[in-house]
Structure 1
Amino acid sequence: MVLVKATEDSEAGVLPTAEAFDAMGRFNDALAAAGIMQAGDGLRPSTQGKRVAFDGPRRTVIDGPFTETRELVAGFWIWEVKDMDEAVAWVKRCPNPMPGPSEIEIRPIYEMEDFAAVLDPQASR
């Protein structure tokens, strides 16, 4: 999973310019043509979001906005790549997703085989 980190601009609801939108569209088209992009989208600012905090059986709903803007996600892709090096190479080709400095985080998604020991306790013995 490729995560576009939020910035003050994205949290303020600043939309991309037409040029930036077109550049990202071309990048997404290249990802799709290469068979890499499985899904992707931008997220609205956290002012429009909610969190649900869990503590045992209790659930507490927390309204946005959320603090620590740099820890929030402004958008995402789900890519199918052969390894982390390929993901990094694609991210380096990505147009800057924000008007100013920004970050993109790459995180592998768990596969079912990662849970083999949990699903079959005998397998871990």
Structure 2
Amino acid sequence: MISIDDPDLRVVVWSYDDTEAASAALARATDWNPDDPAVLRHHLALPGDVVDTAAAVLAQDDWILRPGGRADELSVSGLTPLVALRVQQLDALHCSQETSRMAGLAQRHGGETFGWDALQRGPG
């Protein structure tokens, strides 16, 4: 099993375009191994006063919410850049479901989403 803090993790698949299907992202991912667990990361930004609430909601399904992610790189004004992380087997259906869930969470709390990526251990 892997951990979200495993230092050997590297990005193997990503989809930062809301219009791209998870199945298309996974199909173009040459380094992704569907048999191995992955750390799925959803990038979002939320108002600071709802971060604890969102973290509690996500924790019910083993998601961990941390500062950082793509929103930090994009300099989103007035929102706290965050990344939601969870170890899981990666497939198109579950990726799509979680993407929809994160979008709903962000919308309900006045935030935005910025796509997802997944990490697995590098060769070696």
TM-score norm. by structure 2 comes to 0.42
From the two aligned structures, give the one with the greater helix fraction: 1
